[in-house]
Amino acid sequence: MAHADRILCISAHAADFCVRAGGTLARYAASGADVRVVVLSPGARGESNEFWKARQGRTTEEEVAEVRRTEARKAAEILGVEVVFYDYRDQPLTFDYERLMRLVREIRSFRPRVIITHPAREPYNPDHTAAYQATMDAAYYAGLAGVEPDLPVLAPMQIFACEPTQPLTEMTGFVPEYFIDITDVMDTKMRATAEFRAQPYHVERYRTRSQQRGTQAAYVAGDPAIKFAEAFQRLTPWTGRLFP
């Protein structure tokens, strides 16, 4: 991976980037790549049930949002990545013209080679579907000279979907086509994941998920040294003179 590589992760909520792609992001960051995470919403409403229950409703949406931002900042620091907060409300996460153009400008300014976001179908969390659609729309508009014309256009980027909330292909259509070996950065991912104390179940859930994907990756690669992996699905076609 070249030092000049640029990876953008568009995460619906505060924890999504870490639990679904944290090992991959940490690996790129450690290689010298520029890695930026856009957190569209802190997830104060629907992603923080344990926090609301612990406070027995005696809190505010903004207080919860600040807790989630703090967790995400600490996780991003552990992973070695930059994090940007858009602070939209969640459940539902919605996009109008201004929000979409903000994402276009983000992509145009950062100029990533690869974008990571959510899958197209997320019946278990509609916010993820909204994040996917906004990402795909913004990536398309980023290539049009007449859209936000003060910034230079971009050639088509490679876009990948991370894990859905539940890895049920029959429900989500998610097909794991790419496995990234995160065995040597798994401890980093887990330390970062542990920062999301408003969602304590993430630690065991995504340790297990990474181990399951690692078993699959080890099999398809014929490499028993792979113990943990993250799975992705390509959302954009690839063109070349030979297979990648």
Q: 32-44 pLDDT, tens per residue?
A: 999 999 999 999 9
Quick one: how far is CA 107 from the chain centroid?
Answer: 15
Domain segments of the chain: what residues?
A: 6-234
CATH number for 6-234: choose from 3.30.2020.30, 1.20.200.10, 3.40.50.10320, 3.40.190.10. Answer: 3.40.50.10320
Which pTM value belongs to this model? 0.95
Preceding peptide of 42 cis, ω within 30°: no
Which runs of E-coded beta strand occur in the chain? 6-11, 34-39, 82-85, 114-117, 158-161, 178-181, 229-234
Q: 47-100 pLDDT, tens per residue?
A: 888 888 888 878 999 999 999 999 999 999 999 999 999 999 999 999 999 999
- Pick from 17-21, 49-53, 122-126, 151-155: least confident: 49-53
